[in-house]
Amino acid sequence: MWRRLRTNRAFKVAAGTTFASYFKLVAHTTDFVVEPPDVFEAIDEHLPVIVTFWHGQHFLTPFAMKPHHKAKVLISRHADAEINAIAAEKLGVGTIRGSGATSKRDFHRKGAVSATYQMLDTLAEGINVAMTADVPKIARKVGMGVVTIARYSGRPIIPVAMATRNRITLKSWDRASLNLPFGKGAAVAGAPIWVDRDVDEAGLIAARDQVQASLEDVTRRAEALAARTSRR
C-alpha cells in the first residue's frame, strides 16, 4: 500500500499540503523566544547566508525567515522526500534537489554535483540557501558539504536550532522531532562562520568542527529555552 501511495502524485501533493498547513498551525500557536534578539538585523548585514541545522529538527525553519528573506532549501532526490519538497514550496521556500554522499558513486547518483552548483548559483543571485549539516544517515555529525559551499561561495554559515516544549521524538535515524502546537518554543542562531576560499584541508576540517560545536550549542540552548515554563 505504501509503495503505491509513495509514487502517487496526488497523494504526495495532498500530504505535502497537509504538512505545510500543520506546521503553520504549530508556528502560529507557539510562543517563540528568539535568541539573540537582534538576530535578524545581524543576519541582514551578511545576506545571502547559508542556514544550516540538524536533520529532523528542520520542520519549523521556514518560519524563522522574514518576508524579505528569499531562500531555497536542499532536499534529497529520494521519492519520500518529494512530500517535504512540496511542503517547503507551499511555505514559500524554493527547493534544490540533491543530497550529500558517503562515496564517489553516491556523489553522482544522489545529484550532489548538480545540487552543489545550484546552491552556489543561488547564493550568487542573492538568495539564501538552507541545508542540513549532517553526514547522510549519521545523525548530528557535520559533514563537509556545508563548509565546502561556504568556501566556494564566500558566504557565511548561520547555525540555527528551533525547538518546542511540546514535541514527540520519533524513532528514526535522525531522532526527528514532531513539533506540537500550543506551547512554548525557541529559535536560536549562532554567530556567522566564514570559510576562506584558500583554506587547506586542515582548515576545512577545523571549520567543520566549528559548525559542529555551534550547532550543538544552539540546540542545547533552544531546547533549554523551550523547556522553561515561564512566559516571555
Q: 30-85, pLDDT tens digit by residue?
A: 999 999 999 988 899 999 999 999 999 989 999 988 878 899 999 988 777 899 99
Give the confidence band of 103 by pLDDT, cuts at 50, 70, 90. very low
Question: What is the reported pTM?
Answer: 0.90
Evaluate whether residue 215 is within a structural domain: yes
What is the pLDDT averaged over residues 184-212?
Answer: 97
- Name the CA dihedral angle for 198, 209, 46, 93, rounded to a multiple of 10 degrees: 110
pLDDT at residue 100, rounded to an integer: 57
Evaluate whether residue 65 is within a structural domain: yes
Evaluate whether residue 230 is within a structural domain: no
Give the confidence band of 108 by pLDDT, cuts at 50, 70, 90. very low
**What is the residue whose three cell numbers read 519549523?**
60
Name the average pLDDT for the chain.
90
Question: Nearest 5 degrees, angle CA 9-CA 12-CA 17?
Answer: 130
Number of domains in the chain: 1
pLDDT digits (tens, 9 = 90+) for 39-50: 988 899 999 999
Consecutive H or E run containing 179: strand 177-179
**Cβ–Cβ < 8 Å for 125, 178:** no
Evaluate whether residue 231 is within a structural domain: no
| Length reported for the chain | 232
pLDDT digits (tens, 9 = 90+) for 149-179: 999 999 999 999 999 999 999 988 888 999 9
pLDDT digits (tens, 9 = 90+) for 137-153: 889 999 999 999 999 99
pLDDT at residue 77, rounded to an integer: 82
Evaluate whether residue 232 is within a structural domain: no
The domain in which residue 114 lies consists of 2-225
pLDDT at residue 3, rounded to an integer: 67
Give the confidence band of 101 by pLDDT, cuts at 50, 70, 90. very low
Give the confidence band of 182 by pLDDT, cuts at 50, 70, 90. very high
Output phi, psi for 200, to 5 deg: -90, 180
pLDDT at residue 81, rounded to an integer: 86
pLDDT at residue 162, rounded to an integer: 96
pLDDT at residue 2, rounded to an integer: 61
- Ramachandran sector of residue 175 (left: φ over 0; alpha: ψ -120 to 50; beta: rest): left
What is the pLDDT averaged over residues 97-114?
Answer: 59
